[in-house]
Structure 1
Amino acid sequence: MQERYNEIGFVQQILSLNLVPRKNGTYGGNTSLSDFSEMWYGVFLWAAVSSLVFHLPASLLALATLRQHKLARFMPLAILLMGILGPVCGGVLTSAAIAGVYKAAGKTMMSVEALFFGVGQSFCILVISFLRLLATL
């Protein structure tokens, strides 16, 4: 199954998730992920995309407001770098943990579940960073 993901591009992978419901209320096609690598890749892909969706506007806003500052003009680069390094370092492990639990339970993961888990990871990072929960520990 992993070869199937290597043959098609990034946009085709997202479009092939088939998240649009049919008229009778069912989703089109069989979109269940049964292999560990499929589940891990689906969750990781959504975590990476949603992290970039959160960090890209923040870096553009920082670029617009801090472009005249002597040292802070490099802050958008750091924000964008964290939007990439966060999913690559932490998202890989948490996505593997989620996929491992599903595989150990013998369950299949729907692609919508991979979407919710991936976006949920990025949303939890966003909430923790805004609430400053780590500073209280």
Structure 2
Amino acid sequence: MFEGMSDLDSIANVIWFSPSNPLNTFLEMWYHVFLWAFFSCVLIHTIAALIAFATLRKHRVGRFFPVVVLIMGVFTPATSGLITSAVIAFVYKASALQMSPFYAFLYGVGQTAVAAAFSFTRILATL
């Protein structure tokens, strides 16, 4: 992905906040924010799927709902997370700002937190 790095090395750098330098390019910023949004969303949906499986394991049809929860855990950040991460990176790049890897973490996990807040509240039903 980046100069001389394999995909696994670049993912490990994102997870462990390895790049000590600020993120300068659009691609670096987008990649870091997107991976944090992806990992946090998949983690939350995996926990929810495990809880759903534990409670619905004896239900005739309900035992398959955790599979749908896991699919949504991958589909949601692959669509909306992709776009919002690009928007965040574009704003930083257009403003000529540098992004700290910790801010990329906050933006990525923040996307998941906002999605969870909208899911647990009835805000969308009132619009």
**Structures share a fold, TM > 0.5?**
yes
Q: Could you tell me which amino acid in structure 1 is paired with residue 2 of structure 2?
A: E
Cα distance change, pair 5–49 in 1 and its aligned pair in 2 (3 A): farther
Mapped partners of 1:53, 1:5: distance in 2: 29
Correspondent of 1:66 among 50, 56, 62 = 56
- 2:68 pairs with 1:78: yes
Asked if the contact 1:5/1:13 (under 8 Å) is kept, the reply is no
Matches within 5 A, 1:1-137: 2-4=1-3, 7-9=6-8, 10-15=11-16, 17-18=17-18, 30-137=20-127
Q: Which runs of 4+ in 1 moved over 2 A?
A: 2-6, 10-13
Aligned-pair identity (%): 42
* Cα RMSD for the two superposed structures: 1.6
Q: Could you tell me which amino acid in structure 2 is paired with residue 127 of structure 1?
A: A
Aligned residues: 125
Gaps of 5+ in 1: 19-28
TM-score by length of 1: 0.85
Asked if the contact 1:32/1:108 (under 8 Å) is kept, the reply is yes
Q: How much has 1:52 moved relative to structure 2?
A: 1.3
Q: Could you tell me which amino acid in structure 1 is paired with residue 58 of structure 2?
A: Q
Describe the SS at the equivalent of 1:90: helix
Q: How much has 1:128 moved relative to structure 2?
A: 0.5
Mapped partners of 2:38, 2:99: distance in 1: 18
Which protein has greater RCO, CA pairs closer than 8 Å, 6+ apart?
2
